[in-house]
Structure 1
Amino acid sequence: MTVVDPGLPATEPLREDIRLLGGILGSVVRDHEGEEIFDLVEQARVESFRVRRSEIDRGELAQLFDGIDITRAIPVIRAFSHFSLLANLAEDIHRERRRAVHVRAGEPPQDSSLASTYSKLDAARLDAATVEDLLRDALVSPVITAHPTETRRRTVSEIQSRITDLMRFRERTELDDTEIAETDAKIERQILALWQTALIRLSRLRIQDEIEVGLRYYDMSLFDVIPRINTELRAALRSRWPDADLLTRPMLRPGSWIGGDRDGNPFVTGEIVHRATNRAAQVAFTRYLADLVGLEHELSMSARLIDVDADLQALADASKDESAFRADEPFRRAVRGIRGRLSATARRMLDVVPDNTLDSPELEPYAAPQEMLDDLDLLDRSLRRTANGVIADDRLATLRQALETFGFHLSGLDMRQNSEIHEQVVAELLAWAGVHSDYASLSEDERVAILSAELETRRPLIGPRAEFSEQTAKELAIVESAADAVRTFGGGAVPNYIISMCTSVSDMLEAAVLLKEAGILDPGDAETGPSSPVGVVPLFETIDDLQQGAATLTATLSIPVYRALVTSRGDNQEVMLGYSDSNKDGGYLAANWALYRAELDLVEAARAAGIRLRLFHGRGGTVGRGGGPSYDAILAQPTGAVTGSLRITEQGEVIAAKYAEPRLARRNLETLLAATIESTLLDVEGLGDDAEPAYALLDDLAARAQAAYGALVHETPGFVEYFRMSTPVAEIGELNIGSRPASRKPTNSVYDLRAIPWVMSWSQSRVMLPGWYGVGTAFEDWVGGDADKLATLTDLYRRWPFFRTVLSNMAQVMAKSDLGLAARYSELVPDEQLRKTVFDMISTEHAKTVSMYLKITGHDGLLDDNPALARSVFNRFPYLEPLNHLQVELLRQLRAGDDREQVKRGILLTMNGLATALRNSG
């Protein structure tokens, strides 16, 4: 079949950029690796495109690498990996180019932009009271997680950023031939540096390194972008509803799991929690102090030339600045006083004092960010009184916005631990205190009674001479470190305590007891009641847990002491939904429907209990872990599931893809805000009175899909062996992309394997199984050749955002699958019968799923509704082909006994290159 280039005229500038960057890379390869390697790279490139055009069989290309020596393989792998990275860069620039074309053409704002959202809100004519109620406690929080599959080193990211800037300069500046040549030479120097920079780390990332990786995005983009968006959003909404009290706090506030998520990660300790919170605060203080230095330079107004109001004069005098050079410069003296107080605050709070601090022992530290904000607001008012509003709107406004958003803590660090660990720790505490010697033996009702009683008294379970097991001592140290962060930086420093595998009321109360023992949760008394700056958040992960989630929440809220705690938190309760384990448990369609059903049930449970529900979506980068376009995913939530608030994990390659530079960050953050506001204020579900029949139909389809998935993954003898042999899952454990082990514990069970290596392995082998398997059988069996039933599914696809998004995301991941390449990986399975049995099941289901998708949607191809991805697949995927073939060959060599370090490194390089090219592989 001939593959046709989608959107040829629109993609020509993209292809020109790819040709330019690829040509420079080729020259670098020739100059530094020699003609033989260059010729092999070129031959592989040409043959890959011939495979796409069906001019040669894939096996002919694979023969190029049969028995290849590792010294020749590695530069070829590096060449195609670097090309993928440069192609990503070109695609990002092209998306900017296309958006600019739409704007210049005067077209309406594109969906997922705030400008488009404002237009929709204007058309809806909502009343102020409704908007104020629905946006009360509004929050959108992208949360960078503790186990990123971000495979790029910081050095590589920085080089890529410089190439991006040069490519933009080349396109947007009128250059003569000489200037173009000079710019191309600069690009060549960067690509040369990239070629000579190692792509993978020699050692595994430590959590300390992950903390630094997460924090670097603040200086790269988030510090500049987030406060500005918050200010613009507040102004836009208040201008529409001036009588409503809207967004009293910034709506966009980021979070992190890096250093607080200890579920299955033995390397998280109390010291790590302290480091994570303290380093985050240090990043914030460093930025504030640098901005204050800038303000000192800029605010040089003389009292001889302007009128100085009494408030400003008082702030200037309070600085204790007696320099004769600034005697008539009240703004400078005032700023210096603010810097002195912030310096004193930094010395009191931080382990390492940042640059630009002042030694002003006579100045008191700020007790809270609001005190500093009050001083900055005073500066702002004084500037405006002296007709200097344009100056106030620059650096000072940026600093005020940043301080309001980030406070002294920068971002909220969530704590997370498995409920099994909580049970063991609490049992030991109760035994030590003489409350009960065998907590584990108690029934659920008995546990709840004991835990409730403990939450109602300030009496601690831990005495000064208490002796505990290593595990319990470690857990207590971690929670105590979180308490110290809250005391130092405020409640925003550690906003949530998340309970993995939460299945019962006692699971919830055990976490609350640990918070109480650390002094975070105050049981209060008869007059005040309990309170806690840290919320207890259940995480429902498996399909069974999702189905029982609402019942668990309702039962917990029926416990008086817990309900009183929720009341003290403004009747707000957060619930986290896990996408990864539910998918691994029951397959793509069953997991997505279980999540939707869980949200429906949780919304009803919250309504019945009179509380405000906030959902936290634990999505990964891949469709198999809840990934896909954020805007569509949020709009696909049930009515009432997004009540002005949304938290969502960001992980893997998508962190850099979304936040590596300001323009990308703004675009992606706008998407989260736009979708949250629209889902909250507008009717987006679209089913109306047909909801219940649609829900019943999805119940049926999900059950069929889960059965088909289970028949392969959980019931086929030898399936785990097939998975381990036909994918690089064992080798992924050696890829230095994160600090935590690949499995929660030593096991051969799919259930205990972490979702990242599970999904990443299928992505590397181009099967992409978690993103589609079982769906085709479910649809085909239900339709059964009945045209009316098929028409029902088509109607749902057109009217129901959830169903449309599920199918669209599935089509996207299937477009990245390639069963021809997957067949090459299956040859790594020694058992011929097992290989044939499992691969036949996979290929049969793949064909069914593609066929049913096309019938339901009426599309001619998988990517008809996603032209941007269609262009990407057309332009770039032939360059992935050599990486897959080389990975298979090196896996074969390694498993045949060639365990040289270079062979292992070559495999890791292929993983890195494929992850970069696929952009959402884990």
Structure 2
Amino acid sequence: MIDQGLEHRSAAVTEMPDELRRDVRMLGSLLGQVIAEQGGEDLLADVERLRKAVIAARRGETSADEIASMVSAWEIDRAVEIARAFTCYFHLANLAEEHYRIRSLRRRDTDDAVQRESLAHAVQELGRQRVAELVRDLELHPVLTAHPTEARRRAVATAIRRVSHQLTEFNTPGRGASERDEAKRRLLEEIDLLWRTAQLRNTRLDPLDEVRTAMAAFDETLFRMVPQVYRSLDAALHDGTGAPLARPFIRFGSWIGGDRDGNPNVTAKVTREAIQIQAEHVLTALENACSRIGRTLTASAQFAPASAGLTAALAASVDHHPDLVSELATRSPREPHRQWLLFVAARIAATRRRDLDLAYRGPGELLADLRLAQDSLAASAPRQAYGELQHLIWQVETFGFHLAELEVRQHSQVHAAALEEIRAGGELSERTEEVLATIRVIAWIQDRFGVDACSRYVVSFTRSADDIAAVYELVAHALGGRPLALDVVPLFESGADLANSPRVLTGMLDIPQVQERLAAGGRRMEIMLGYSDSAKELGPAAATLRLYEAQEQLTAWAAAHGVKLRMFHGRGGALGRGGGPANRAVLAQAPGSVAGRFKVTEQGEVIFARYAHMAIARRHMEQVANAVLLASSAAVGARTAAAAERFRPLAERVARASEEAYRALTEAPGFPEWFALVSPLEEIGSLRLGSRPARRGLGAPRSLDDLRAIPWVFAWAQTRVNLPGWYGLGTGLAAVDSLEELQAAYAEWPLFNAMLDNAEMSLAKTDRSIAARYLALGGRDDFTERVLEEYDRTRTLVLRVTGHKRLLENRKVLSRAVQLRDPYVDALSHLQLRALTVLRTGEPSDHERDRLSTLLLLSVNGVAAGLQNTG
């Protein structure tokens, strides 16, 4: 059975903790039972044959050719069922690892030890007074985006959550035998349903589907996680009595339903509906929380008397809403705080229903009512004042009535074309009318939910200050001169644009509307740095250094112009798009560029990897907050600056040589066509991953400019090459004569350390022998040889510089995860290769082509589940 695959003698298994091994084996055994029941023992036997073959291949006991022969001998429908089996296995293995990680986090969270990379650890490192000072300016701003990198259907994700719940029930300590038997029966039932659930979407997601998918993370995790993080900080700052010292420092943003760059499906109507969905969810959550707290506040007036202010407010509420208040007083006699909180909950419900007689006009009014109760309780019942009620206050301060600030993004060329039409004075095109309608929707959102709900407009491919001024000119046309509180945010993506960014900002200072926004906002300005396109253009090493240099220049520019600059990092999930551990990325930023503020995109599979479970979400947020506090301290900044100064010439040699090697490959004649042949690039568009088209224009890409960064990275991950995460780095490292200097840079400079560690992770997820089979499909031996030679060079030199004997030697958990999954990813890769080979080189009938496409897409789905950070 599949669970017995863990018996092969790899380093992953020998290092696997017993409890993780137990969960994976049990889940695999139950899946094997389901497969045998639904598909027959012969299907399970074929799954086992392939499993054993790929394990043997890893040991050198069989060849890839033998595996290819086995796979090609199966009927296509049988191969499809086998692909489904391995994909389901990955979902269950991921789940088991998640549960083990949660248990490990809880074990490390002991009373006698401060957990590393936590808020308490930051206080220990920097001191309470310094952290209390830094917290005044601390702001973490994750922005959820709908970039199409989450390959799972929402139905599959929901089925996995049900399996997760039953696994928790099964593993809960103290369960009796009958309770464990029942939990195992339910586990089998849910795994059976997961097997029966179609892995592929029949229809493409529309933008509002994406909004609703993201709401699951809010409903299940984010709303409850935020006050826990604040409480962790408060506990580290003082003894927990009296008013909290921690202030709310997390703000969420969202591009889902607002990002229309290259996505014609995101319209003004969609943006309006997106904010309404968000408001419905947050108001429901606030109402439920307030009702729950109100019902528990049963303190009698004898022991917790109401303050004069609360007494007066209750009396006034009787005058305005006598029936409601009378009912509450009857249900809660002599319990003034309970009456008040239930009255507040009723007002939140009225806000959600748009009952204007009872509704709050904004979150400020709600906060005033909650603080009225808190101040009243503080005199006689401080634990109740600063307990759950404080959590609710923090939630209102964090989420408001809009949940997350909805940001709009559009391409600068769209604005230029719209202005050209408007200035010409003729009939406006549908696209230009849509641009104007979007601005009017922003104004409507601000009127309905407040300025904080939607006040940022990101301009892709900003090349000059004119691109920013164009948006403000469009605002004037759309609103007829009515004012709009709008910060237009330039997005710098290409290498040239990053280098030019300070000049653009200087030009922006001459725009009257920018001057007004700076004056109104305390000289605060936001700019966005794009990791995806810069990496696709320059290669991973050169892009890393170019982004760092841009941050240095922008930090110096801000200091010279008296501007408080916040840099918005457009990082993707995959290593080729700026991915990797977020806390390490923060510490690798240029000195002075963080200054207590970190704003970053969170997308696709990353949202669910980081925010699907409370313990993991809280740990992630604490790690990032810890890194922001440390990176904002003078001591850490000085160390980083000294290392950057010492190793800058070395890094420039690495970047220059790596970029030359990268461009020599990607800009070579015929490379885009070759890439389309050796990867499932064309078919990825059929996966219906999201509402946004995979590329600009139609047909095969004629250049990489035609191709968006996400499918570029996603397709390379499928080929097991992972080229965007490492290509060119080996040539770059080889350009430096001194290994000792490279090793010193790795040890002392966080940027260089993170760059090599991320490349090492990407190399570890590369399989050379399978990659060679994909590359051979393109019929260009020169390209294949160049890629494999650079892989060998990069792998060798990365290991020399890091001093590791094997990839990921110093990252035990990740190494175990990769090695555990590798054989099963291999199985799916061989199934995918069978389909891709026939589709590229054969002449299948229409029916065969349809079934082969299904096989290919199922394998794409499964490989994505196995590799995890793919897009």
- TM-score > 0.5 by shorter chain: yes
**Mapped pair 1:498 → 2:458:** yes
Is the CA contact (8 Å cut-off) linking 2:532 and 2:577 kept in structure 1?
A: yes
For 1:533 and 1:227, how far apart are their aligned partners in 2?
29
The Cα shift of 1:888 comes to 1.2
Quote the residue 1:84 is aligned against. Answer: 90
SS at match of 2:688: coil
Is the CA contact (8 Å cut-off) linking 2:12 and 2:820 kept in structure 1?
A: no
SS at match of 1:429: helix
- Pairing of 1:631-780 with structure 2 (within 5 A): 631-684=583-636, 686-689=639-642, 691-715=644-668, 717-746=669-698, 747-780=701-734
Is the CA contact (8 Å cut-off) linking 1:590 and 1:705 kept in structure 2?
A: yes
Is the CA contact (8 Å cut-off) linking 2:16 and 2:816 kept in structure 1?
A: no
SS at match of 2:115: coil
Amino acid at match of 2:431: Q
The Cα shift of 1:755 comes to 0.8
Given the alignment, which residue of 875, 890, 893 partners 2:838?
893
Quote the residue 1:410 is aligned against. Answer: 403
- Pairing of 1:97-108 with structure 2 (within 5 A): 97-103=103-109, 106-108=112-114
The Cα shift of 1:470 comes to 1.3
The 3 A distance-change label for structure 1 pair 704 and 291 is: same
**Mapped pair 1:429 → 2:422:** yes
Given the alignment, which residue of 797, 801, 819 partners 1:856?
801
The 3 A distance-change label for structure 1 pair 682 and 876 is: farther
The Cα shift of 1:693 comes to 4.4
* CA deviation string 1:237-257 (max 9, x = no partner): 5789x99x9876x21111110
Given the alignment, which residue of 29, 53, 61 partners 2:67?
61
The 3 A distance-change label for structure 1 pair 689 and 337 is: closer
For 2:612 and 2:481, how far apart are their aligned partners in 1?
37
The Cα shift of 1:709 comes to 0.4
SS at match of 1:650: strand
For 1:325 and 1:565, how far apart are their aligned partners in 2?
51
For 2:347 and 2:174, how far apart are their aligned partners in 1?
48
The Cα shift of 1:367 comes to 2.3
Amino acid at match of 2:744: D
Given the alignment, which residue of 334, 352, 374 partners 1:380?
374
**Larger deviation, residues 513-522 vs 219-228:** 513-522
SS at match of 1:880: helix
The Cα shift of 1:177 comes to 4.5
**Mapped pair 1:23 → 2:34:** no
SS at match of 2:359: coil
For 2:536 and 2:44, how far apart are their aligned partners in 1?
42
Given the alignment, which residue of 31, 47, 50 partners 2:53?
47
The Cα shift of 1:911 comes to 1.1
Given the alignment, which residue of 9, 17, 32 partners 1:11?
17
Amino acid at match of 2:123: Y
Amino acid at match of 1:771: G
The Cα shift of 1:195 comes to 0.9
Quote the residue 1:254 is aligned against. Answer: 252
For 2:785 and 2:335, how far apart are their aligned partners in 1?
80
Structure 2 spans left out of the alignment, 5+ residues: 1-7
Is the CA contact (8 Å cut-off) linking 1:634 and 1:679 kept in structure 2?
A: yes
SS at match of 2:621: helix
For 1:741 and 1:659, how far apart are their aligned partners in 2?
26
For 1:180 and 1:322, how far apart are their aligned partners in 2?
48
The Cα shift of 1:690 comes to 5.3
Is the CA contact (8 Å cut-off) linking 1:135 and 1:643 kept in structure 2?
A: no
The Cα shift of 1:227 comes to 3.0
Quote the residue 1:371 is aligned against. Answer: 365
SS at match of 2:686: coil
**Mapped pair 1:141 → 2:141:** yes
Quote the residue 1:286 is aligned against. Answer: 284
Moved over 6 A (4+): 520-523
Quote the residue 1:847 is aligned against. Answer: 792
The 3 A distance-change label for structure 1 pair 661 and 270 is: same
The Cα shift of 1:179 comes to 4.1
Quote the residue 1:356 is aligned against. Answer: none
Is the CA contact (8 Å cut-off) linking 2:644 and 2:749 kept in structure 1?
A: no
Higher helix share: 2
Is the CA contact (8 Å cut-off) linking 2:643 and 2:748 kept in structure 1?
A: no
For 1:67 and 1:7, how far apart are their aligned partners in 2?
31
Structure 1 spans left out of the alignment, 5+ residues: 349-358, 433-465, 524-531
The 3 A distance-change label for structure 1 pair 632 and 295 is: closer
For 1:135 and 1:104, how far apart are their aligned partners in 2?
25
Amino acid at match of 2:139: L
SS at match of 1:66: helix
The Cα shift of 1:544 comes to 1.1
The Cα shift of 1:126 comes to 6.0
The Cα shift of 1:113 comes to 1.9
The Cα shift of 1:512 comes to 2.5
Is the CA contact (8 Å cut-off) linking 1:521 and 1:533 kept in structure 2?
A: no
Quote the residue 1:906 is aligned against. Answer: 855
Quote the residue 2:434 is aligned against. Answer: 474
For 1:724 and 1:868, how far apart are their aligned partners in 2?
34
**Larger deviation, residues 753-762 vs 507-516:** 507-516
Q: TM-score scaled to structure 1, two decimals? A: 0.87
**Mapped pair 1:265 → 2:225:** no
* CA deviation string 1:554-590 (max 9, x = no partner): 2322556533432322111111110110111111111
The 3 A distance-change label for structure 1 pair 820 and 7 is: closer
For 1:179 and 1:259, how far apart are their aligned partners in 2?
44
Amino acid at match of 1:808: D
For 1:238 and 1:481, how far apart are their aligned partners in 2?
45
For 1:634 and 1:307, how far apart are their aligned partners in 2?
48
The 3 A distance-change label for structure 1 pair 841 and 305 is: closer
Quote the residue 1:528 is aligned against. Answer: none
The 3 A distance-change label for structure 1 pair 392 and 155 is: farther
SS at match of 1:499: strand
**Mapped pair 1:322 → 2:316:** no
Quote the residue 1:870 is aligned against. Answer: 815
For 1:643 and 1:769, how far apart are their aligned partners in 2?
34
The Cα shift of 1:280 comes to 0.6
The Cα shift of 1:174 comes to 2.9
Quote the residue 1:806 is aligned against. Answer: 755
Quote the residue 1:165 is aligned against. Answer: 165
The 3 A distance-change label for structure 1 pair 67 and 515 is: farther
Amino acid at match of 1:697: L
Amino acid at match of 2:655: A
Amino acid at match of 2:659: Q
Q: How many residues align?
A: 848
For 1:227 and 1:467, how far apart are their aligned partners in 2?
52
Quote the residue 1:591 is aligned against. Answer: 543
**Larger deviation, residues 401-410 vs 296-305:** 296-305
SS at match of 2:632: helix
Quote the residue 1:610 is aligned against. Answer: 562
Is the CA contact (8 Å cut-off) linking 1:557 and 1:609 kept in structure 2?
A: no
**CA RMSD, 1 decimal:** 2.6
Q: TM-score scaled to structure 2, two decimals? A: 0.92
The 3 A distance-change label for structure 1 pair 734 and 517 is: same
Given the alignment, which residue of 92, 102, 116 partners 2:121?
116
SS at match of 1:228: helix
The 3 A distance-change label for structure 1 pair 306 and 90 is: closer
Quote the residue 1:436 is aligned against. Answer: none
Is the CA contact (8 Å cut-off) linking 1:211 and 1:276 kept in structure 2?
A: yes
The 3 A distance-change label for structure 1 pair 55 and 339 is: same
The Cα shift of 1:166 comes to 3.1
**Larger deviation, residues 644-653 vs 722-731:** 644-653
The Cα shift of 1:284 comes to 0.9
For 1:804 and 1:674, how far apart are their aligned partners in 2?
19
The Cα shift of 1:543 comes to 1.0
SS at match of 1:289: helix
Is the CA contact (8 Å cut-off) linking 2:591 and 2:641 kept in structure 1?
A: no
For 1:345 and 1:99, how far apart are their aligned partners in 2?
39
The Cα shift of 1:325 comes to 2.5
* CA deviation string 1:226-279 (max 9, x = no partner): 133235435645789x99x9876x211111100111110111111011011111
* CA deviation string 1:852-911 (max 9, x = no partner): 111212211121121111111222211111111111112233443344443322222111
